[in-house]
Structure 1
Amino acid sequence: MQKSVLFTLFSLTVLMLTGCTTNWTMTTRTGQNIETQGEPEVDAATGLTKYADAYGYHRVIKTSEIVKTTKGATTLGW
């Protein structure tokens, strides 16, 4: 009985933590603010930055076009 309660609590904790994301904001040279889900990934080999936009679509932008990247608040993704 005690094992099943511990397993249930552990499962719920893991499920809640997987729904958390941290939003980031990238500011471009043109002044556009791009909100991302999670931290953008810089690929030095190609000179591109990969990110997931506010709707979850995966996008890329030239790293040279990004002026500033700031970390926002952590939010639940569900």
Structure 2
Amino acid sequence: MKLPDELDAQLRHEAARRGMTISELTREAVESHLAGRHGRRRRLLAAGAGRSGQSDVSERIEEILAAEVER
């Protein structure tokens, strides 16, 4: 299957951001979409959000949140 260039770039970026392969992210997205259409409980997409690769996030949470609010 061929994706439009913009969608392919977004997929690659999100997979890299989440530390997943493109196949893993694609599978998760399809499962989530199909589960939503059939009334099943959807998986929490933010479940892997804690994988930032930074060990001091809990110590810097106020700074991080303040930076996000400024955006």
Larger radius of gyration: 1
TM norm structure 1: 0.25
Which structure has more relative contact order (CA 8 Å, sep 6+)? It is: 1
Name the one with the larger helix percent: 2
* Richer in strand (by share): 1
